Structure 1
Amino acid sequence: MRVLIVHNILWAHYKSLLFGRLAQQFGAEDTLLVIQLALTEGHRKGLGMPDATSVGYPFQVLHNGSLDELPLTQRISRLIKAAFAFRPDVVLLTGYYDPAQLLLGTLLKLRGCRVVLQNESTALDNPRTGWREQLKAAFIRRCDGIFCFGTRAADYMIQLGADPRRILVRNNAVVDNQLLAQTHAASLPQRQAQQTALGLKPRNLIYVGRLIDIKNLAALLNAFAAAHQTIPSDMADEWGLILLGEGDQKALLQAQAAQLGLAERVVFLPGCDWRDVPRYLALADVFVLPSLSEPWGLVVNEAMACGLPVLVSDRCGCAVDLVRDGQNGYTFAPDVPEQLPERLRQLLAASTDERDRMGRESVRLVAPFDPDRVGRAMYDALKQVSGR
């Protein structure tokens, strides 16, 4: 079996992890190649360039720079040339939003190659109307298999006309659960000292991600202020909020926190490499993702792998698959203003034992979204589609 994967950039740590675990399943009779369209993207340049030596699978990069600098015509010609030279039995496309991948999938299909699509999107991400939806639907109906991040992504594919029997993997959203959990556990003995050094409260909510409007962080600050006032003062004194990340909303959020009287309770920390995220999660007791829109939300996987209760907007794709209300945390509707402060109040007022129980349930619920399990499921599905 000859499998070709097409991905936009080399630097996407969770995709690299998954492709590596998939590669481990390949036997002597199999061949895998991952074509990366470029090394990085414009908005990632400030984070440095990826380390190609750490990639655990065979790959080819078509442009040694930013994807934004590669004209569409060159992207198409280079991709088709490289793919045709490889002669795959199965191609896994990771983005139907890319005209180059759509064209390649169509041409390979005409040559007898099986086409599998990986989908992260849901019907809730953006308005879903017009000719783009019709084009996607026509392409999706021709696919031989589909890998989805979760239930909502699968539902969206079915809505566009996919045969449910061709949705072969439904838990494609993975992080390195084991490494995250190990790093988190190793950081816990330094928790109190680190909290003191960073000016944190003994107990903390934490958000990890970009500080941008769609993440709904202004509502989180308002909700934290409201919830803080509804619990006993001795309990309220223990709680703070960590916002870990950078973005164009940072100054506005800092001003809002001061206006709400939360300047000493809300701590802004700079963004960090994903490997360091569990060290900061070790300083917190509850993870919050309040986004207005989120195809999935892999940071929720990370928090759950580290054993934290989670509070997640129901506009996040992961909410359906990973969050059980009252078991490992809660979901809330961002368009119902009273829900977020009430859910926060419940978590702030819960006992330590109750939050610990929720954290253990998080670990259990995220276990199926494990790279080893999913890598094996992907290999079996590709083998099935190839007919070999």
Structure 2
Amino acid sequence: MASPFRLTVVMTHPAQYFAPWFRFIARERPEIALTVLYGVRPTPEAQAEGFGRAFEWDEDLLAGYSSRVLSAQPSDTPLLAGQFSAVDAPSLDEVLPETAPDAVLVPGWHAAIYLRAMRLCRRLDVPAIYRGDSTFLSAPGGLARPFWGWHTRRRLHAYSAWLSVGTRSREYLAAFRVPEPMVFPSPHAVDNDRFAAAAAAHSEGARTAWRAARGLDPAAFVVLFAGKFTSAKRPVDVIEAVASLRNPRVQALFVGGGALEPSIRSAAAARNVTAAFAGFLNQREMPAAYAAADCLMLPSEHETWGLVVNEAMATGLPCVVSDQAGCAPDLVTAGETGEIVPRGRPDLLGAAIDPIRRRVAAGRGYEAACQARVAAFSYRQATDGLVAAM
């Protein structure tokens, strides 16, 4: 019997979306000897960035697989997207060789610890596997673009194999001419079964009570926004979209927090929109919000993927997303699993809600189509691509 393939993954910090995938690999794929090395473990205050409140995740992100946090002390470094560059762990120089890897998965080059990992791969003559979700949607324009293109091409070609998380990821890799035979599908995923089961466990009575406790009409069509209240997410567009329908039976539910909450509340009051604010909900609390909603809206200015869409679809919710969401071409098909709308057009967001509302009211929901679509974006498929790349 062949020895397991020793895969070491280098990450900046434990993340709620990746830990369940690592547990799946450790539990279901004995042919992989997985070790995950994290640069830092953030403090509750560091995790507060963007949400406006300190918190701990309600599950142990280090349990169920072999892992190690390289920094001895919890880190206060903010972990917002685009702010990872300072995360480093000099001890990686000693620890990574100790794992005797056959390959190292490095998600990109946007943090010092990733650059360190790539240097080590070259020194040890160990192949590096890329799995990132960058797309051309976030590429700079103007004079910065040629340098960005040169820099990106140089970084990408330092890898030996590449995993694409979706259509736009594959297009991005193809544009930089990475060898097509070495690009393998490894889709972005969440624990579909867990979200589906947890949401289904909420009875109609529980759904009604959850809504009523937050001031929502039990009979209303509820549009859910879940995430950080930042300008990049455009949460005020949800209010404008609902207001454009001029229907008091269409209401909004906001889960999360952040600097734009006063602006959202002011917009709701000015436009006479009923909007409930549930605050930050942890992973085990989120299914109740999905069960209480009728559709999800993600109107982002830019979004490399949008895993909240995976979560929502796993519970059967249709999704209205901006065309700047990386997941749009993979998960959202108009009239089947939701609608795609140009960013910055809340009027069109509102127009997209209405046919969904009418179809749900007629008893022709989206649950089967949404769950069938997201079933192809699972930990099993993500792992199959990883194994093919090894």
Partner of 1:178: 193
Matched residues in 1 for 2:166 and 2:318: separation?
A: 20
The one-character-per-residue Cα deviations of 1:115-141 (angstroms, maximum 9, x if unpaired) are 101111111124162544423311212
CA distance in 1, matches of 2:190, 2:98: 32
CA offsets, 1:201-228, max 9 Å, x none? Answer: 223111111111111122221121112x
Distance in structure 1 (CA, Å) of the matches to 2:280 and 2:62 = 22
Match of 1:89 among 102, 107, 124: 102
In the alignment, which residue of structure 2 is the partner of 1:19?
22
Q: Give the % identical residues.
A: 25
1:191 to 2:207 alignment: yes
Task: Tell me by how many angstroms 1:74 deviates.
Answer: 9.2
Q: 1:162 to 1:151 in 2, by over 3 A?
A: same
Q: Deviations over 1:176-205 (max 9, x none)?
A: 110111110111331122222222122311
Which whole-Å deviations, capped at 9, do the CAs of 1:12-59 have from their partners, x for residues lacking one? Answer: 1111111121223443x7532110111126630511378658521101
- 1:160 lines up with 2:176 in the alignment: yes
2:111 pairs, out of 98, 119, 129, with 98
Amino acid aligned to 1:188: S
Query: TM-score, normalized by length of structure 1?
Result: 0.88
Determine if contact 1:313/1:334 at 8 Å carries over to the other structure: yes
The reply on whether 1:3 has 2:18 as its aligned counterpart is no
Alignment partners' CA distance in 2, 1:243 and 1:30: 40
Answer with 292-301 or 129-138: which moved more.
129-138
2:324 aligns with one of 280, 301, 315: 315
Alignment TM-score, normalising by the size of structure 2: 0.87
User: Which structure 2 residues correspond to residues 37-52 of structure 1 after superposition, within 5 A?
Assistant: 37-40=39-42, 43-44=46-47, 46-48=54-56, 52=60
Match of 1:268 among 254, 260, 277: 277
Equivalent in 260, 263, 269 of residue 258 of structure 1: 269
1:1-388 residue pairs with structure 2 within 5 A?
1-10=5-14, 12-27=15-30, 30-40=32-42, 43-44=46-47, 46-48=54-56, 52=60, 55-63=63-71, 64-66=73-75, 68=77, 75-127=88-140, 129-171=145-187, 173-189=188-204, 190-201=206-217, 202=219, 203-227=221-245, 229=246, 236-262=247-273, 265-336=274-345, 338-353=347-362, 355-356=364-365, 358-382=366-390
Residues 264-303 of structure 1, C-alpha deviation per residue, up to 9 Å, x if partnerless?
Answer: x111111110221111111111111111111100000011
Confirm or deny: 8 A CA contact 1:40 1:49 kept in the other structure. Answer: no
The one-character-per-residue Cα deviations of 1:227-265 (angstroms, maximum 9, x if unpaired) are 2x2xxxxxx343211111101000111011101112xx1
Instruction: Give CA-to-partner distance per residue, 1:99-155, whole Å, 9 cap, x none.
Output: 331242243134321110111111112416254442331121231111222111121
Partners of 2:88 and 2:112 within 8 A in 1: no
Name the structure 1 match of 2:51.
none
Given the superposition, is the C-alpha separation of residues 76 and 351 from structure 1 closer, same or farther in structure 2, using an over 3 Å criterion? closer
Question: What is the rounded CA distance, in whole Å, between the counterparts of 1:299 and 1:55 in structure 2?
Answer: 23
Q: CA contact under 8 A between 1:36 and 1:62: conserved in structure 2? A: yes
Q: 1:283 to 1:106 in 2, by over 3 A?
A: same
**Range that drifts further, 110-119 or 50-59:** 50-59
Structure 1 alignment gaps of length 5 or more: 230-235, 383-388
Deviation at 1:359, TM superposition (A): 2.5
2:123 & 2:360 partners in 1: Cα distance? 61
Query: Is the contact made by 1:154 and 1:170 (CA closer than 8 Å) also made in structure 2?
Result: no
User: 1:323-353: per-residue Cα shift (whole Å, max 9, x none)?
Assistant: 0011111110014454222212322333434
Q: Is the 8 A contact 1:22 1:376 kept in 2?
A: no
Count of matched residue positions in the alignment of Structure 1 and Structure 2: 369
Amino acid at match of 1:184: A
Higher helix share: 1
Distance 1:89 1:345 in 2: 52
Alignment partners' CA distance in 2, 1:337 and 1:222: 6
CA distance in 2, matches of 1:326, 1:292: 23
Structure 2 unpaired stretches of 5+ = 49-53
Q: Per-residue CA shift, 1:78-108, capped at 9, x if unaligned? A: 1122112222110000232123312422431
Q: How far apart, CA to CA, are the structure 1 residues paired with 2:85 and 2:296? A: 40
Amino acid of the structure 2 residue aligned with 1:246? G
- The aligned amino acid for 1:258 is A
Contact preservation (8 Å) 1:176, 1:370 = yes
What amino acid is aligned across from residue 133 of structure 2 in structure 1?
Answer: E
